[in-house]
Structure 1
Amino acid sequence: MKMTLHYLAILLAVALSPLYSAIGAQPPNIQPPNIQPPNIVLILADDAGYADFGFHGSREIRSPRLDTFANQAMLFEQAYVSAAVCGPSRAGLLTGRYQQRFGFEENNVPGYMSESCLPDDEMGLPLDQATVADYLKSRGYRTALIGKWHQGNADRFHPMNRGFDEFYGFRGGARSYFAFGEGNLNHRPEDRLERGLGEFAESGKYLTDAFADETVAFIERNQSRPFFVLLSFNAVHNPMQAEASDLKEFPNLSGKRRQLAAMTLSMDRACGRVLDKLNELNLDQNTIVVFTNDNGGPSDANASDNSPLSGTKANHLEGGIRVPFLMRWPGVTKPGSKYTHPISMLDLLPTFVAAAGGNLSELKPIDGVDLRPFVEGRDNARPHQTLYWKKESRAAIRDGDWKLLRFPDRPAELYNISLDIAESDNLADQHPDKVRAMYEQLFEWELTLVRPQWQLKREYEGAAMKRMDDYRK
C-alpha cells in the first residue's frame, strides 16, 4: 500500500506540474522508492523420479505442499540438467557453464569410482570458476548453502570459499539421514554435518528436518536484506532411510518404494515450512522460489519412477536428464501456467544475476541465458536451439526437437522428442543425413571442451549402459 500511494503521489505531482509553473512555484521533490531486489530461494532435490510428485501426476507418492506451490508457480515441461549424475550437474548449475568446459565431466568427486592421477582432495569445482553465489554476493546478497555440497572435500573447495557466506551441511555426496553418535569417528569427515568451515555439528534430527530448520532460521536472520539460499537436499538419494511416522502413511507400498514415498513426503513437508516462513514474514511477494532436481531418478537404487520418460540417472535418455522444475516469481510467472520450450539448469545463474540487477555482459563466458524475457512472453523463441551432454564416449545433442544419442557399444540413435517423449521409435535409419549432421554438430561442440580431469572406472560405464537398457520404455 505504501508503495502504491507513493507512485500515486508521483503521478499527481506530474499532472499538477503545469499549475506549479503557472504560479511560479516549484513542484515537490518526490524520489522513487528504494525497491529491494528479489530474494532467491533455490530448492534442489536429489535423485527424485520425474513422475514421483503429485504435480507430475503421481497417485502413489504424495507431495501436497509442492502441489499447492505448483498452482502458484510456472511448471516447466522440458527442464534439463547439464549432467545425468549429481556432482557435475551441480557444477553446471553453480557456474552457468557446461561443466565439461572446465574438466568436470560426468564423473562425481571424490574419486572412489574414478581413475585419475589426482588425489581425492585435488578433485573439486576448479577455483577459477565463479559461482552464482559469488555473483550474488557481489550484488549485496547474503548467501547460504544448506545441505549437500559434493563439489570437493578439501577446504579450498568449501562452500564458504566459493561465494557462500554460510554453510550447514556435508561436503560429500551421500550420508545417513540420522545423526551420527556423539564422538563417532567411524565416518568420513566429508559425511559429517558441519556448520561454517570445519565445525562439526550433528543436529540429532532427521536430516531433511535439520536442513529445513536451518533454512528457516537463515531467512529469519536476513529478512531485512536481499538473500540467496540454496537448500540442497540429499533426499531422496540413498540410503533409503525414512522416519517411522512417514512410513505409516504408505501401508500399501513396500520395500524401497515405500521408503521413497515416505522420504518424499518428508521433503515435501520441509519445503512447505520454508514457503510458510516466507509468507509469515511477508517476503513471498519479493522472493523468487525455484524447486527442481539434480538428475533423473536411479530406479534400481531408490525405486524412483521417471515415467513417461525412458532411462534413469547416469544416462542421456530423457529419464536421466529431464527433471521437475517449478518457478514462482511474483509479477513475472503466471500462477498455474506452463512453459513448454526446453530450458537448462545453466540458465539459473544468469536469470538470478539479472534479477539482482547485475549486468550479464560482465559475467565470465556462460552457456545459460536469462529466462525472464521468455517466461514473460516478451521473447517467443526457444531459450536454447541446441543443448549438449557428454560423458567420455557417450554423448547426446538436442537440436530443436531432434535428439541424437551416441554410444560406445552400438550405432547412434535419433528421436523426435516432440512426437516421442519415451524415445521408443529410433529414426536413425530413416534420416541418415540428419544423423550425420547432428553427429558433426556434436563433435564441433566437443572441440571447445577440455579433457576430463578424472574419469569413471570402466566397470561403471558398463553398469550404466546396462541400467539404461533395463529401464527403457
Structure 2
Amino acid sequence: MTISKLNFTKLCLLLLVITSCSHQKVVAQKPNILFIFSDDAGYADFGFQGSKDFSTPNLDALAKTGVKFTQAYVSAAVCGPSRAGLLTGKYQQKFGFEENNVKGYMSSSSRYLGDKMGLPLNQVTVADYLKKLGYKTAVFGKWHMGHADEFHPLKRGFDEFVGFRSGARSYWAYNDEDPSGEIEKYLEYGFGKYNEQPEKYMTDILADETVAFIERNKERPFFAYLSFNAVHTPMEARKDDLEKVPTHLTGRRRTLAAMTIGMDRAIGRVLNKIKELGLSKNTLIVFSNDNGGPSDTNHSSNHPLSGTKANHLEGGIRVPFLMSWQGVLTPNTIYNNPVSTLDLLPTFVNVAGGNASQIDGLDGVDLLPFVKGEINEKPHKTLFWKKENRAAVRHNEWKLIRFPDRPAELYNIEEDISEVNDLASEKPELVRELYKKLFEWELTLDRPLWQLKRLYEGKAAERMDNHRKPKIKK
C-alpha cells in the first residue's frame, strides 16, 4: 500500500512536470518582436533606398529577407509626437500630444509645465499589451515620452530600460558635472544611473544592451524596442567610421555618413545574435525612422522627396520601412500601398496572440494580412497629419496640405512624388472635399496639452518655410 501511494505521488509529480514543460514550450513558441528605430535619418540615406554614398550592408541584407515598403508614413513630422503615435496605435492629437515635449514649452493655457509633459498616463502602450500577453519588454535608447518619473518607461509597460529620457544627447559619456542637473540626458539603467565609459560610443552601448537582453530572454517571448538616437544631432562619429566614408563627402554630410555606418554595424550585431541563437524563424523584425531627415541640421537627404523634418511635404513624413520574418514573409517583396507607424501596435499585438480588433480607438491596422496577400485592398485610404494650424490629408493618391498663411496645395502623390506640380487651382472641388475630410477628423481631436513658446514658434515656422522645397537632385 505504501509503495502504491509512493508510485502514485511520483506519477502526479511527473505529470505536473510534463504539463509545466508543455506550458513553457507553448509560451516560448510565441514570436519574438524586434523593433529598430533610427532618428532623423534621411529617406535616401540607406543602401536599400538607393544611396551610393552611405554604407548600410546589414540593413540592405535585412531588406532582401522580407518586405520593403515604398509608401510608409509616420504620424508626425517631429520626434515626440511620432513616437507617441506608434506606441499607442492612435493619432497622438487625439490625446493632445501634438508638439515635442521639451523644457521651455507652454501649455495651451500658457502655463509653464517644466518637465510635466509626456505621454498621458491614461494611454496604453504597445509594451503594456505585450507584457500582458507574456512578453518580456525592453526599450534601449531614446525615450522622449516625458522627463518626469511618472512617464518613465518602467511605468509604461517596459520591464527594462537602458537609455535617456530626453530627445537628444551626446554620443559620448557625460561626467558628473555635464550636463548640470539635466537628468533626462544621462544614460539610465532602469531608474538608476548607467555607468558610462568614456571610450564607449552611444550607438554601440545600445547594441550591447539589446544583444544582452536577447541572450537573457532567448527561452521566452520578448519585445525589444531599439530606439537609436543615431543619426540625430549632435554630429559625433567614431574616428574609425569617419575613415570609411567616401572622400568626396565633406562637413556634416561626411559625419552623418560615418554615424550611419556605426548604426548599421550596431544593427548587424543585433541581427547576428538573433541568427546565432536560432531565433530567425521565430522573430518579427521591423526597421523604420521617426520622421523625415532634417536637411539643415544633419545634412540628410530625402531625395526624391520635397520637404524636410517638421513639415508635411513627403520629405517630412515619409520614411524607410522594412519588415522581415523568416518563413512567414516572402523575401525581396516590395509593398507599394500606404502604411503608417500607427500600424505597428495592432501588428505586434496580433502577432503576440492578442486581438487588436478589441482595442478601442486604434487608427492603425495589422499589416501582416496585407503584405502576405490575404487582404488585397489598401491598409489606409486616408491618412492625416496636424501640427498647430498646419495640416495635411492624403486620400488615395491625392494629398492636400493646409497652411496658415497661404492657399492650400494639392498633389497627386502617385504621379508626383516630389510634389512639384500643385493642382489646387485646377481641382477646386477636390480641394473642398479633402478640406471637409480634414475638418471632420479635427473634430475628433483633443486640444494640444502644450505648445511652443511664441518666440520659438515663429522660428519654427520660418524654418519650415525655408526648407519647404529643397532642390531636387537629377
Question: Is the TM-score greater than 0.5?
Answer: yes
Q: Which residue of 2 aligns with 1:194?
A: 188
Q: Which residue of 1 aligns with 2:391?
A: 395
Q: 1:274 to 1:310 in 2, by over 3 A?
A: same
Q: How much does 1:197 deviate?
A: 1.3
Q: Which residue of 1 aligns with 2:233?
A: 238
Cα contact 1:311–1:472 (8 A) shared by 2: no
**Which aligned pairs between 1:284-299 and structure 2 lie closer than 5 A?**
284-299=280-295
CA RMSD of aligned residues (A): 1.6
Aligned mate of 1:91, from 72, 78, 84: 84
Q: How much does 1:461 deviate?
A: 3.5
Aligned mate of 2:65, from 60, 72, 84: 72
Q: Which residue of 2 aligns with 1:62?
A: 55
Partner Cα separation in structure 2 for residue 144 and residue 284 of structure 1 = 19
* 1:123 partner amino acid: M
Cα contact 1:256–1:302 (8 A) shared by 2: yes
Q: How much does 1:118 deviate?
A: 4.3
Q: Which residue of 2 aligns with 1:206?
A: 201
Name the stretch that deviates more: 352-361 or 157-166.
352-361
**Which aligned pairs between 1:285-364 and structure 2 lie closer than 5 A?**
285-364=281-360
* 2:39 partner amino acid: D
Partner Cα separation in structure 2 for residue 226 and residue 316 of structure 1 = 37
Q: How much does 1:468 deviate?
A: 3.2
In the alignment, structure 1 residue 51 sits paired with structure 2 residue 47: no
Partner Cα separation in structure 2 for residue 162 and residue 84 of structure 1 = 23
Name the stretch that deviates more: 234-243 or 196-205.
196-205
Partner Cα separation in structure 1 for residue 201 and residue 313 of structure 2 = 33
Q: Which residue of 1 aligns with 2:214?
A: 219
Q: How much does 1:183 deviate?
A: 5.7
Aligned mate of 1:163, from 157, 160, 184: 157
Q: Which residue of 1 aligns with 2:135?
A: 141
Aligned mate of 2:115, from 121, 126, 144: 121
CA offset digits 1:224-258 (Å, max 9, x no partner): 00000100000000000001111111232110000
Q: Which residue of 2 aligns with 1:3?
A: none
Q: Which residue of 2 aligns with 1:110?
A: 102
Partner Cα separation in structure 1 for residue 92 and residue 119 of structure 2 = 9
Partner Cα separation in structure 1 for residue 208 and residue 358 of structure 2 = 36
Partner Cα separation in structure 2 for residue 440 and residue 111 of structure 1 = 35
Name the stretch that deviates more: 356-365 or 62-71.
356-365
CA offset digits 1:330-380 (Å, max 9, x no partner): 233211111110000000000000000102233232100011110110101
Partner Cα separation in structure 1 for residue 179 and residue 105 of structure 2 = 23
Partner Cα separation in structure 1 for residue 195 and residue 322 of structure 2 = 32
Partner Cα separation in structure 1 for residue 441 and residue 179 of structure 2 = 46
Q: How much does 1:392 deviate?
A: 1.0
**Which aligned pairs between 1:446-461 and structure 2 lie closer than 5 A?**
446-457=442-453, 458-461=457-460
Q: How much does 1:114 deviate?
A: 4.9
Number of equivalenced pairs: 442
Cα contact 2:306–2:469 (8 A) shared by 1: no
Q: How much does 1:113 deviate?
A: 5.1
Q: How much does 1:135 deviate?
A: 0.2
Residue 378 of structure 2 aligns to a residue whose secondary structure is coil
Q: Which residue of 2 aligns with 1:428?
A: 424
Cα contact 1:332–1:372 (8 A) shared by 2: no
Q: How much does 1:175 deviate?
A: 0.3
Q: How much does 1:470 deviate?
A: 5.1
* 1:154 partner amino acid: A
Cα contact 2:186–2:193 (8 A) shared by 1: no
* 1:178 partner amino acid: W
Residue 268 of structure 2 aligns to a residue whose secondary structure is helix
Partner Cα separation in structure 2 for residue 320 and residue 357 of structure 1 = 34
Q: Which residue of 2 aligns with 1:16?
A: none
Q: How much does 1:284 deviate?
A: 1.0
Q: 1:316 to 1:291 in 2, by over 3 A?
A: same
* 1:64 partner amino acid: P
Q: How much does 1:69 deviate?
A: 1.1
Q: How much does 1:463 deviate?
A: 2.3
Q: Which residue of 1 aligns with 2:16?
A: none
> Normalized against structure 1, the TM-score is what?
0.91
Q: How much does 1:68 deviate?
A: 1.1
Q: How much does 1:466 deviate?
A: 2.2
> Normalized against structure 2, the TM-score is what?
0.91
Cα contact 1:194–1:202 (8 A) shared by 2: no
CA offset digits 1:286-317 (Å, max 9, x no partner): 00001100000000000100000000000000
* 2:364 partner amino acid: G
Q: How much does 1:87 deviate?
A: 0.3
Partner Cα separation in structure 1 for residue 463 and residue 327 of structure 2 = 43
Q: How much does 1:128 deviate?
A: 0.2
Name the stretch that deviates more: 398-407 or 193-202.
193-202
Q: 1:431 to 1:334 in 2, by over 3 A?
A: same
Residue 395 of structure 1 aligns to a residue whose secondary structure is strand
Q: How much does 1:122 deviate?
A: 1.5
Q: How much does 1:182 deviate?
A: 5.0
Partner Cα separation in structure 1 for residue 414 and residue 261 of structure 2 = 32
Residue 390 of structure 1 aligns to a residue whose secondary structure is strand
In the alignment, structure 1 residue 471 sits paired with structure 2 residue 470: yes
Show structure 2 runs of 5+ residues with no match.
1-21
* 1:399 partner amino acid: H
* 1:180 partner amino acid: Y
Show structure 1 runs of 5+ residues with no match.
1-30
Q: 1:254 to 1:472 in 2, by over 3 A?
A: closer
